[in-house]
A and B are shown apart, each in its own frame.
Chain A
Amino acid sequence: MAIIDPGFKSEIKKYGAKDFTACYNCGNCTAVCGLTDKEVNFPRIFIRHGILGQTEEILRSKELWLCYACGDCSETCPRQAGPGDYMAAMRRYAIASYEPTGITKLMFKSNPVFIVLTLFFALLLGFFLFTLKPDYEVSRWLFNILPYAVIHNMGLVIFSLTGLSIMWGVTVMALKLTKSMKEQEKSKSNWVSSLMMVGKELATMNRYKTCDAEEDSFWKEQPWYQQPWFVHWSIMWGFIGLLVATVLDFMLKDPATNIWWPSRILGTIAGIFLVFGTSLAINYRFKKVTKAYSQTRLADWVFLWFLWIAGITGFWLEVSVAFQANLLINHVIFLIHTIISMELVLLFAFSKFAHAIYRPLALFLHFQKSQNKN
């Protein structure tokens, strides 16, 4: 016997859910969605869960993460209940609920807290960064107050916290999601092939391509490289490429000065994709090209702008390193680039970024289940 929590409606409004109570359950949203079928059901049922306060139903669902937010449902909704934006809000709610510290809840529910915490972490990271240049005057002053070892350990603790939080979050999510799967569904599936299918989806975005793909869709007219799936692909692989390049750079112990090194070439190409993707995404959100882009939360803006700034400043640094220009402005840019990049990583568990791990996990479990059906 399920219970009803009528107070939950006002709680999820804080995560950006807006007019969802206008829903009259016609189900057009579910019908029009290219990713739904007999087994996979959204967004209508999620609006029900929200209205009735069925939090566990929301947190236990894979479907929440199968949605790519194309906004086709919102376009179709006869009551302007915004099912697409509602799904995004539910994902925010889920990210905040899986993560154990409560930081995400604070940040998603209140913009002032979001800004204050983002700035605070930026300052903290800046503080750590000065310790990397011990010959700076600021750094020398810092070391007088706190010894290097303390600062170093603080950094380790803070980054471990992020790491632990995301691991906790993933574990909580995996437990909740598998709870709704039957025993036989788990045992019979071949996890290797499910993993392959996740990899294929990440590589091709084939499921994303089915989103908002009707004849009358706005995107049907646009070239493929401007379509949302490719924008998402660019950002994702751009970021992954840059991450790999940076790690390689550090493993080679010499943050690359030669732009023709393989790791640098990878970084350059990945950076182009990242900047291309984020530029388009920011542009779409500014122009509100479709309903999907019409409502942008502060968390979305910050995430996109951070990626974009990280990309642009990265190129600036690459150029200045190539020309050996040791100007003050380059140092400032370096500081910004590093703070933003590190803050992206630091806030991984506490921001929209967490979807990068939750979505593949949900996809993996979805494939596990659908394999059984077939």
Chain B
Amino acid sequence: MEEKLKKQRIGVYICHCGGNISDYVDVTQVKDLVKNEEGVIVSKNVMFACADSNQKEMVKDIQDGKLDAIVVASCSPKLHLHTFRNVAVRGGINAYNYTQVNIREQCSWAHSDTPAEATEKAIGLIRAGIIKVSNSEALETIEVSSTRAVVVIGAGVSGMRAAIDLAKMGNLVYLVEKEGKPGGNISRWGDLFISGKKGNDIVDALTRQIKEQSNVTLFTDAAINKVSGSLGNFNVEVKIGTEILNLKAGAILVATGFDSYRPADGMFGYNQFPSVTTLPEFKEWIDKNQGEKLVFNNRNIKSITYIYCVGMRETKGTNKYCSRVCCTSAIHNSIQVHEKFKDINVYHIYRDIRTYGKQEILFERSSKNGDIFLKYDEKLPPFVEQIGGKIMVKVKDELTRNQEFEFETDLVVLVTGMVPRHDSLELAGKLKIPVGNDKFFNEIHPKLRPVETVINGVFLGGSCQGPKNISESVQSSLAAAVKINALTKNPKIQLEPIIARVNFETCVWCGKCAEVCEYDAIHPLEMYGKTVASVNEATCKGCGICAPICPVDAIDIAQYSNAEIEGMIDGFMQLVELNIEGKIETTEEQGSSAGMNDLPQIWRRISASLEVAAKTIPALATELDLNTEMITYHLMTMNKYSLVEAEGLDDNDEYYFYKLKKL
């Protein structure tokens, strides 16, 4: 690899963060020390590095001082990486000739009780940053061209709704459905809260709209066979019967939905007693029941018992999560029962209950219906047994002094939640998207990047990502639709250039890098009459797993080259000699109260004194010229941390001698 030119005109900016940093880290001393580093020509303290005025000053410094690289020592790059990249660009240097050093989260906040050490660490980190930036090379963002087409997997309510909007925004949409007809889970459901519409009415309306859109193609009975390519240029093989279709798409929206949890045989009598069913089964069945009387399995139903959280929120099992839509669904179902049939006693046996948001009125309505709520502990679940044709339920009610109740019921409905589809792992494998502990597909960040996956161009919509009700499912799939359109509408997609790069001269194509690549980004390529590894720029995430695997050291990661990383380690390991006299100024208040800032100092002095001989507290106080309370406090703390130990009483049997504990 060619030797890069080192940057020789570096500007370093050390931020006070208004005291967040400067209260603990001696920023003045840091500034003075790093000024002497090789290549540094500007070293400044700033109150707020991110402030507009300071940004302007930095731009001016770069231009006037002909700086070729900058280091900003302030907060986490998660906060201001792009801010200062822009500053660099405005000043006229490459955005990647800038390094952010985090001395707030990693120094002042983490070590607020040991300010001298925090300062030491800050200097080390900044030295590392300076060497890194001096070895940095200018990079350009990667541009990828994109096909203006989207594959939407799953024609449930989320997929259909997103397909319509994607089409309206000008994308060609392929809607792929595994079943024989579109609709998914909601086509099984009757009256829906709040609209009162039936699931099938919604499906019909969406199907009509899809037919009106000329640029949506719906494939039914179709399965995803294979996915290749990357952002902008995916190749999706779809299998319909025996026929295989090849679809080209710029992005993929996964909207495959969920399965309902199926209890094990015998769980609360499921599949054992005829009068035990699950909520999804009962919901379907009650929509079909049109009679005056509620009859289930030839049994006249006068009382129904719902058991909540079945298979969900298990502290020991696999489904640790709350499916969160089931409370609402069960209560809504019980209200429908009351509306359709008269004089039915309803028991709700729950662990916790929440019909969140606007649905809270359902809970109120349900309690006003006179339904009986009983609360059980996970460790003491209700017990269902059939005695001579009668279904008996036993439960310890937390709401009534933990008394155990027993009552007869005609029907037990197990309120089961949403689980990932049985085939979700298979699809995850094909798309190379990760699943979480709950086995649902995982987004990058639950709050900040909720519909994107780690695979560029693959997005999530609806309940394939976790339990959601209909409106939440549609919200997420529409969010994904807009994110997708933002990508596909540009003929060129901009990507971060921090990716793996192969030195073709040294590469001998052993294939080890391709084996470990989680993103399938490395493939062999014929070049210069030999086979070498080639990195797909659109798929590579720059994770770096290939670099150490390479036996001939032919791979490095942009911004994390050997020179940069080794330089950073060297920089960090250099000795830091702090000027103790110029130590942090403690304010009057701090000095007189807890003295937190002095704490390690006192420990050191106590240790030094005890190293000579074991001493009593008054003796230490006299020697170190501190009051006995202060000595007692610190000595006891040191004792707690096993740094010192007591050893015998003094002549008056009044004070213990303390000595250093040998480790």
Binding site for B on A (CB under 8 A): 1-4, 6, 9, 19, 21-25, 45, 48-49, 51-52, 54, 79
Contact = CB atoms under 8 A, between A and B. Distances in A.
A6 B372 contact: yes
Contact of B367 (A1, A3, A24, A54): A24
Contacts of A2: 400, 403-406
Contacts of B5: none
A22 B364 contact: yes
B399 A25 contact: yes
B394 interface: yes
Contact of A4 (B368, B372, B401): B372
B407 A4 contact: yes
Contacts of A54: 400
A66 to B, nearest CB: 18
Interface string B285-304: 00000000000000000010
Contacts of B347: 4
A54 B374 CA distance: 14
Nearest 6 pairs between A and B by C-beta?
Answer: A4-B407, A6-B345, A48-B400, A21-B370, A1-B406, A2-B405
Contact of A19 (B303, B368, B406): B368
B363 interface: yes
A80 to B, nearest CB: 10
Given A21-B368, A21-B369, A48-B400, 7 more contacts: A2-B404, A3-B407, A6-B370, A21-B367, A25-B399, A48-B397, A52-B400
Contacts of A48: 397, 399-400
Nearest to B369: A21
A23 B370 CA distance: 10
Interface centre among A23, A52, A79 (most CB of B within 10 A): A52
Contacts of A25: 373, 375, 399
Given A1-B406, A2-B406, A22 B367 contact: yes
B450 to A, nearest CB: 32
Contacts of A23: 367
B390 to A, nearest CB: 13
A4 B370 CA distance: 13
Nearest to A47: B399
A148 B397 CA distance: 62
Given A4-B372, A6-B372, A45 B367 contact: no
Contacts of B404: 1-2
Nearest to A19: B368
A79 B406 CA distance: 28
B372 A45 contact: no
Nearest to A48: B400
Contact of A52 (B363, B364, B372, B375): B372
A53 B345 CA distance: 13
B365 to A, nearest CB: 10
A51 B403 contact: no
A1 B405 contact: yes
A25 B363 CA distance: 13
B609 to A, nearest CB: 53
A23 B364 CA distance: 9
Contact of B364 (A1, A3, A49, A79): A79
B362 to A, nearest CB: 13
Interface in B339-374: 345, 347, 363-364, 367-373
A54 B371 CA distance: 16
A6 B408 CA distance: 11
Contact of B405 (A4, A19, A24, A45): A4
A21 B366 CA distance: 9
Interface string B384-424: 00000000001001011101111100000000000000000
Interface in B508-547: none
A38 to B, nearest CB: 13
B368 A51 contact: no
19 contacts: A1-B394, A1-B404, A2-B405, A4-B372, A6-B370, A9-B370, A21-B367, A21-B368, A21-B371, A22-B367, A24-B373, A25-B373, A45-B400, A45-B401, A49-B400, A51-B370, A51-B372, A52-B372, A79-B367
A336 B123 CA distance: 101
Contacts of A9: 370
A4 B392 CA distance: 12
A3 B406 CA distance: 5
Interface centre among A23, A25, A49 (most CB of B within 10 A): A25
Contacts of A21: 367-371
B353 to A, nearest CB: 8
Contacts of A45: 400-401
Nearest to A80: B364
Given A3-B406, A4-B407, A45-B400, A24 B370 contact: no
B405 A52 contact: yes
Nearest to A23: B367
A52 B347 CA distance: 10
A24 B367 CA distance: 8
Contacts of A1: 394, 404-406
B506 to A, nearest CB: 71
Contacts of B367: 21-24, 79
Contacts of B368: 19, 21-22
Interface string B237-264: 0000000000000000000000000000
A212 to B, nearest CB: 26
A295 B498 CA distance: 74
A24 B327 CA distance: 15
Interface centre among A9, A22, A48 (most CB of B within 10 A): A48
Contacts of A52: 372, 397, 400, 405
Nearest to A25: B399
B519 to A, nearest CB: 50
Contacts of A51: 370, 372
Contacts of B364: 22, 79
Contacts of B406: 1-4
A4 B363 CA distance: 21
Nearest to A41: B401
A2 B404 CA distance: 6
A24 B363 contact: yes
Contacts of A6: 303, 345, 370, 372
Contacts of B405: 1-4, 52
Interface centre among A2, A3, A23 (most CB of B within 10 A): A2
Interface string B555-573: 0000000000000000000
A2 B369 CA distance: 23
Contacts of B407: 3-4
Contacts of A24: 363, 367, 373
A340 to B, nearest CB: 40
A122 B97 CA distance: 104
Contacts of B303: 6
Contacts of A49: 400
